[in-house]
Structure 1
Amino acid sequence: MLPWTHAAFGYILLLAIVLLFGRRLSRAELIAVVVGTQFADVIDKPLAWWFNAVPSGRSLGHSLLFAIPLTAVVVAIAWYRRHPGIGFAFGFGYLTHLVGDTYAAVYYWRTEEFTFLLWPILPPYPYDDFVGFGGFVDGLEVTTSTLVLFTAAATVGVAFLVHFSRAPWWDTHRS
């Protein structure tokens, strides 16, 4: 998935779950879910593509051995600061990123592609080479599929901005 589709995927799923329970998302929770959806790539892509410090663009930040403890720390800090929803939104966004990176492998049941989830115990699946950000942008092709995904993500982005502009920072019933 591309960054904007990760963001759209996590935001829509969290919004659907929250609305199902009759709750509203705060602005801080909206920001947290979007940050969570990008976090794995923000760690791995620069470390792999620019610094060659990890073996793949899906290794450290995409590993459950890193993601679960980090999410637990974020949730604990948010809980301590009396904003547990922010921690859970971050963790949910992070989880949706990992799901977004594995859905095709699950669909086609290519289990060898799941190894990045347990890096460094298992080797990461070699899905990418060192390309750098410029190489990544140069490699993007304008296809019907890309345009549909971009349009869908842009629509969700507009909905996010509308939602963000109207969502309260905290519950208005607080004294």
Structure 2
Amino acid sequence: MLPWTHLAFGYVLFLAVLVVSRRAVSRTELLALLAGTQLPDIVDKPLAWWVHLLPSGRSLAHSLLFAVPVVVLVAVVARRYDHGELGPAFALGYASHLLGDIYVEVWYWRTEELTFLLWPVLPPYPYDDFTGFLDFALRAEVTTGLVIQSAVAAVGLAVLAVQFFRAPWWRPPADRPAG
């Protein structure tokens, strides 16, 4: 998935949680969700594609051996500073990123491609050979899947922007007008 698709996918999952729980959400929670949806690629892609410290763009931060402690740490720190709601938002964003990266492999049961989830215990699947984002962009092919992902992401991000900046129910309860 591309960054905006990871964000839109995480946001849709977050919306489902909000609809079920029937509660308002703060902008800070949204920012925690955003951070969670992007962190694995922010860590892994530059360290693999530019600095060559990692074997793959899906290795360290895509590994559950890294993800679980990071999510726990964020939750503990957030709770320590009286922002316990940020931990679950970050965790959902992070989990949605990993889910977005594995859904095709799971659907077709290509388990050999899921080894990055336990890196460095298992070697990462050699799915990428890019040298940077520009190389990735130059080699990208416009496919039906890319068009659909981008369209869904555009709609999701537009809804997110409207809700983030305008929707009155989006404000935390303390900010709502009485009545």
Q: Which residue of structure 1 lines up, in the alignment, with residue 103 of structure 2?
A: 103
The aligned runs of 1:130-141 (5 Å cut-off) are 130-141=130-141
Structure 1 residue runs of 4+, over 6 Å off?
A: none
- Are 1:115 and 1:123, in contact at CA under 8 Å, matched by a contact in 2? yes
Instruction: Please list the CA deviations of residues 145-170 of structure 1 after superposition, one character each: whole Å capped at 9, or x if unmatched.
Output: 322221211111110011111332x4
Tell me the secondary structure at the aligned position of residue 112 of structure 1: helix
- Are 2:130 and 2:136, in contact at CA under 8 Å, matched by a contact in 1? no
Q: Which residue of structure 2 lines up, in the alignment, with residue 76 of structure 1?
A: 76
Q: Which residue of structure 1 lines up, in the alignment, with residue 48 of structure 2?
A: 48
- Are 2:61 and 2:67, in contact at CA under 8 Å, matched by a contact in 1? yes
Call closer, same or farther: CA 1:173–1:133 in 2, change over 3 Å.
Answer: closer
Q: Which runs of 5+ in 2 are unaligned?
A: none
Q: Which residue of structure 2 lines up, in the alignment, with residue 32 of structure 1?
A: 32
In 1, the alpha carbon distance for the partners of 2:27 and 2:21 equals 18
Call closer, same or farther: CA 1:83–1:171 in 2, change over 3 Å.
Answer: farther
Normalised by the length of structure 1, the TM-score is 0.94
Tell me the secondary structure at the aligned position of residue 74 of structure 1: helix
Cα deviation for residue 99 of structure 1 reads 0.7
In 1, the alpha carbon distance for the partners of 2:12 and 2:121 equals 32
- Are 1:40 and 1:62, in contact at CA under 8 Å, matched by a contact in 2? yes
Normalised by the length of structure 2, the TM-score is 0.92
In 2, the alpha carbon distance for the partners of 1:136 and 1:36 equals 22
Instruction: Please list the CA deviations of residues 44-98 of structure 1 after superposition, one character each: whole Å capped at 9, or x if unmatched.
Output: 0000000000000000010000000011000001111111111210111001101
In 1, the alpha carbon distance for the partners of 2:145 and 2:65 equals 33
Cα deviation for residue 173 of structure 1 reads 7.0
Q: Is 2:158 aligned against 1:158? A: yes
- Are 1:45 and 1:57, in contact at CA under 8 Å, matched by a contact in 2? yes
In 1, the alpha carbon distance for the partners of 2:69 and 2:9 equals 23
Counterpart of 1:172 (choices 151, 155, 174) is 174
Instruction: Please list the CA deviations of residues 97-136 of structure 1 after superposition, one character each: whole Å capped at 9, or x if unmatched.
Output: 0111110110011111111001001100110113311101
Call closer, same or farther: CA 1:139–1:59 in 2, change over 3 Å.
Answer: same
Deviates more, 1:61-70 or 1:81-90: 81-90
Instruction: Please list the CA deviations of residues 24-49 of structure 1 after superposition, one character each: whole Å capped at 9, or x if unmatched.
Output: 22111111111111100000000000
Query: Which letter does structure 2 place at the counterpart of 1:171?
Result: P
Percent identity of equivalent pairs? 52
Q: Which runs of 5+ in 1 are unaligned?
A: none
